[in-house]
Structure 1
Amino acid sequence: MTFKPLGKRVLLERIEEATTTATGIIIPDNAKEKPLSGIVRAISPKVEEKGLVKLGDKVVFGKYAGTELTLDGKVYLVMNLDDILGVL
């Protein structure tokens, strides 16, 4: 399924973080926080026109930013361009 964001929105795939610490301690699922970074998978024409974010960019966003969306069994985030804090 293809998804094309409208307005000034982007579609992001969250980057999952490691499940163990540097010392080898395993972090249980209920103690993990949701990642605050992701990879841009789709952008709207307005965002493409501005050229601030491109497909494949790794970005950082706010903790409560975006709306979760499930496509083909994968969870994505749809958010406004203004909610993206920066590109890594």
Structure 2
Amino acid sequence: MDVASSVECYIKEHNVPSEVALARISSFVEDAWKTINQAPFKYPTLFPVVQRVTSLAKSMTLLFLDKRDAYTYSKDFKKTLESHFVKHIPL
């Protein structure tokens, strides 16, 4: 009753072991990250739009950091949110 993850889909589609699928998806993420970081320089006239898209993409790293799915399992994300928005930084 669970929806397949991107890793599971890649394994099934390409008939590869999980290690290969994880490595390949990690390379997709790295390539996408490079593209996102280059976008403001490639399209300076569209900077307000590009900035919003890159901000959204960068926020996804908080949700899926360390190969965890904090979007689906939000209890795992509670500590991260508290550390960013609730707890004060000691001076």
TM range (shorter): under 0.3
- Higher share of residues assigned strand: 1
Q: Which structure's relative contact order is higher, taking Cα pairs within 8 Å and 6+ residues apart?
A: 1
User: With structure 2 as the length reference, what TM-score do the two structures score?
Assistant: 0.23
| TM-score, length-scaled by structure 1 | 0.24
Higher helix content, 1 or 2: 2
